[in-house]
């Protein structure tokens, strides 16, 4: 059956009908949204006071970190309108977390599992379908909604020139695809330490991840002001291994939690003061003066402390 747009009401009715057609077989977890990170990522707090970063399953919205993409701010704003400071209900799939430790979920606005935020974003043209096996429970629903959004030229399908339907299992833009081919990348930056940044230097760190075994001897990590950390001679990472580079000295405490938990290695910049600017900065990974990878950010609200570098 084909549905034609006659305002937002019809679209939302379509979402409700299709969502209900796919049984929510797992119990939903209730949480309250503390803040919206971007169009497809939120931070929530559970009843036991546990705080988690939640990445929506099955969809991808344009970026607002590390470079602003077409319709990224609009997707962020619409996601905020739907969920910010509200109670939501989470449904997981086969894999509960991604490689960054983020909780993966279908997010609902009601305890019955009728109004799914993931689906609403796709239907209204704020998100594209992103297939990440084995989490495919609602994939057919998302694909149907995306087809309708494209045909009716909603949201990004109308406003972003040259946008094409991505190949299955890939919604990466050209820059993202280039990053995906790199052997080593900057995975995340925890830029805002708890308390005073200048007395809690190890509350800042950058996580580096290797896709294949690589020797990082003499490589450099720099900030936008070109302050440099030099990797020690003989230092290497194995495939899928990570290293956290803390701002301070090894003798200083490490009391903050955040992205890139349980790294394989820890290195220390040895700075007496904070490195990463809370208002925005650029981390660059360099070999022989050539930038291999970089990640930039702007502070997103007073509670923003880190950025996941997308690829």
Whether 55 is catalytic is yes
Q: Is 50 a catalytic residue?
A: no
DSSP lists the bridge partners of residue 230 as: 220
> Catalytic annotation on 143?
no
Which of 35, 52, 102, 306 is catalytic? The answer is 102
Which of these is catalytic: 35, 43, 52, 63? 63
Kindly name the residue from 35, 43, 52, 55 that is annotated as catalytic: 55
Active-site positions read: 55, 63, 102
């Amino acid at each position: 059956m084909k549905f034609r747009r006659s305002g937002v009401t019809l679209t939302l009715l379509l979402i409700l009908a299709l969502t209900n057609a796919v049984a929510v077989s797992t119990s939903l977890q209730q949480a309250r949204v503390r803040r919206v990170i971007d169009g497809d990522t939120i931070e929530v707090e559970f009843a036991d006071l546990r705080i988690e970063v939640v990445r929506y399953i099955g969809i991808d919205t344009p970026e607002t970190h590390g470079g602003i993409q077409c319709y990224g701010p609009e997707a962020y704003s619409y996601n905020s309108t739907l969920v910010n400071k509200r109670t939501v209900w989470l449904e997981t799939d086969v894999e509960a977390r991604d490689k960054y430790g983020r909780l993966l979920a279908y997010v609902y606005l009601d305890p019955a599992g009728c109004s799914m935020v993931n689906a609403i974003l796709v239907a209204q043209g704020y998100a594209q379908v992103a297939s990440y096996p084995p989490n495919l429970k609602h994939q057919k629903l998302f694909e149907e909604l995306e087809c309708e959004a494209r045909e009716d030229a909603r949201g990004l399908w109308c406003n972003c020139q040259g946008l094409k339907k991505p190949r299955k299992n890939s919604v990466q833009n050209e820059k993202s695809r280039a990053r995906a081919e790199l052997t080593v990348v900057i995975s995340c930056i925890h830029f805002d330490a708890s308390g005073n940044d200048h007395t809690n230097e190890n509350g800042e760190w950058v996580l580096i991840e290797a896709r294949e075994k690589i020797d990082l001897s003499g490589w450099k990590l720099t900030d936008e002001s070109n302050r440099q950390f030099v990797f020690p001679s003989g230092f290497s990472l194995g495939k899928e291994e990570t290293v956290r580079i803390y701002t301070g000295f090894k003798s200083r405490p490490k009391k903050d939690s955040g992205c890139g938990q349980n790294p394989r290695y820890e290195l220390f910049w040895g700075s007496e003061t904070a490195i990463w600017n809370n208002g925005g900065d650029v981390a660059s990974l360099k070999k022989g003066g050539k930038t291999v990878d970089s990640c930039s950010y702007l502070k997103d609200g007073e509670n923003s402390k880190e950025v996941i570098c997308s690829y």
